[in-house]
Structure 1
């Protein structure tokens, strides 16, 4: 696969095909990362939902499977200040569901947490020296970023606006992921919290490409070879694909998520803050319909999910996040390795 029209990402990251398997917390497994690597793409391990011990175990498994480059992804948000009044109002809004489903409303609220990149996580990077380290919600503080760069890792992060892309380049990113409005999971937005200003990929991508000098990776709504070709036509050097990999047997998704992925219509995804407190795209379910996908009562990220946990155990489909992007209808049941190879071969053929 040496005839891609733009090989900057291949050269920068040491991969064979310009595809990055998106790091999807909770759904990505070590088997998915290994299989994506075997097909010549960049396998990505999400760390946000893992303890330090779990991350070490995952990276040990991946490293034992081969020597290809890997990406480890971290959130770098600022933990919110305590706000008991907001937490109380949020749980009160959910009380009718507790009563209906027989959950104990008076029991202590479970803790929903996502650890930001910190000294402990940085020590794991220094220990395993992944070839690529990517971030969501901007970049960590300079002292931590300098330590990451000292390992030799290439640094990526997501931009949802041109302004964010410029900020990331100015602060040391080696390549930028242009994340369109279509993308599933959490928006990478970090300079603004106004979701009304978010941009679709095909408008965002060429503007980011024109604005920065580093290579740009396209993400959002890409799930087949046509999307890859279109991204290259707009100046991308590679693509990051997430939702399509949720259909593979290497993904870990709940039974409800599995069913929703295969039956939702393309128009049935929406941005929601109900499950974590930050806007993220998922398949619309009961709680999103009844409370509104974006509800100002939801506590700040990542605390919103705690009060939903007892409801999820009783109605998984209605109260759990079903992350997916707008290209959900393009997904098909195929293995991670086969999907990656098929996407690369078909896209390359169209680009000739």
Structure 2
């Protein structure tokens, strides 16, 4: 299986950049693609127009394949006006004050653009790969992608999710272990009930499906890559190690938190978005959790964006997403990180 991703995606090296919702950058995505891997760009919350602009910037920055990543609706998302946000607004009030936001924002017409709007823009962009999280793409989406020559990658946090994705016709599956940074993208069971570690998840997914499996979670250097391939993976997806580089869109405070993170420094929390995610706890997380009022997704994410966007450089007021192996990352340069990861590949995959 070691050559499957190279052939499938048209890349030289089976190293995939994790897509960062809200923290992707054209520079980092292009850097990984230019190095021979698959750069990925997270499109959470992006309008169709913004997706087209981002894709054009990526195409200007690299001629190599890249992936665009979308969040699939799970059906439990709330709409403006459907939920009482009084308690959640009270919980974030001290953080708005700290960010010098003078007034609570009025409710928008919608918290998120529609998937249809986003997909129309992705079809226009024609990336090499469409990757998705939080579910199985509809058959019409898979068929349209295949018609356009776009590969589809799904993300699983359990064997059952991987089987569902394979049955849904995806071309490859990211097996995301509980060590991974950011949101736990479970969709068949609660995220809290799907916290399978990478070393346990990957080989069981490999045995259960007949498409290439990309290991994710806890991989930050050549040792993690070597382990992923020993478990049967066809590639490795890496987030935190790239997020701490100067090419990412993370703030300097976030990069510093990643540099100094110990193995026990991350927590799983719903405080910042309303969905379970792994990151480094800061004032924002502690304040919201202490208040005990967290709105459902995506209302909570919209509420916290009010202070996050107002103080993007303040490490106490932003989402410090980080994986358990963040402290293993050693370089501030994406090219150096890529070279370190590639050094762990089996000889047949280099």
TM-score by length of 1: 0.89
Aligned to 1:330: 328
1:164-183 equivalences in 2 (<5 Å): 164-183=161-180
1:252-271 equivalences in 2 (<5 Å): 252-271=249-268
CA shift, 1:177, in A, is 0.4
Q: Any gaps of 5 or more consecutive residues in structure 2?
A: none
> Please, which moves more after superposition, 172-181 or 140-149?
140-149
Q: Find out whether 1:123 has 2:120 as its counterpart.
A: yes
Change in Cα spacing, 1:86 to 1:182, as seen in structure 2 (3 Å) is farther
Which residue of 17, 24, 47 maps to 1:21?
17
1:329-348 equivalences in 2 (<5 Å): 329-348=327-346
Contact 1:112 1:304 (C-alpha < 8 Å) held by counterparts: no
Aligned to 2:281: 284
Aligned to 1:91: 89
Aligned to 1:108: 106
> Please, which moves more after superposition, 89-98 or 275-284?
89-98
Aligned partners of 2:66, 2:92: CA distance in 1, in Å? 41
Aligned partners of 2:25, 2:96: CA distance in 1, in Å? 32
> Please, which moves more after superposition, 152-161 or 261-270?
261-270
Q: Secondary structure at the match of 2:343?
A: helix
Q: Find out whether 1:150 has 2:162 as its counterpart.
A: no
CA shift, 1:92, in A, is 2.5
Change in Cα spacing, 1:128 to 1:104, as seen in structure 2 (3 Å) is closer
Aligned to 2:44: 48
Aligned to 1:200: 197
Aligned partners of 1:179, 1:234: CA distance in 2, in Å? 14
Aligned to 1:304: 300
CA shift, 1:58, in A, is 1.9
Contact 2:2 2:348 (C-alpha < 8 Å) held by counterparts: no
1:190-269 equivalences in 2 (<5 Å): 190-269=187-266
Aligned partners of 1:111, 1:276: CA distance in 2, in Å? 18
Q: Secondary structure at the match of 1:177?
A: strand
Aligned to 1:320: 318
RMSD: 2.7
Change in Cα spacing, 1:116 to 1:41, as seen in structure 2 (3 Å) is farther
Aligned partners of 1:351, 1:141: CA distance in 2, in Å? 32
Aligned partners of 1:348, 1:26: CA distance in 2, in Å? 33
TM-score by length of 2: 0.89
Contact 2:163 2:208 (C-alpha < 8 Å) held by counterparts: yes
Aligned to 1:32: 28
Which residue of 267, 270, 274 maps to 1:273?
270
Which residue of 49, 53, 76 maps to 2:72?
76
Aligned partners of 1:33, 1:122: CA distance in 2, in Å? 20
Contact 2:128 2:151 (C-alpha < 8 Å) held by counterparts: yes
Aligned partners of 1:190, 1:207: CA distance in 2, in Å? 18
Aligned partners of 1:123, 1:85: CA distance in 2, in Å? 29
Aligned partners of 1:199, 1:111: CA distance in 2, in Å? 37
User: Number of matched residues?
Assistant: 346
> Please, which moves more after superposition, 339-348 or 177-186?
339-348
CA shift, 1:153, in A, is 0.9
Aligned partners of 1:296, 1:150: CA distance in 2, in Å? 48
Aligned partners of 1:101, 1:250: CA distance in 2, in Å? 26
CA shift, 1:348, in A, is 4.0
Aligned partners of 2:306, 2:44: CA distance in 1, in Å? 22
Contact 1:20 1:44 (C-alpha < 8 Å) held by counterparts: yes
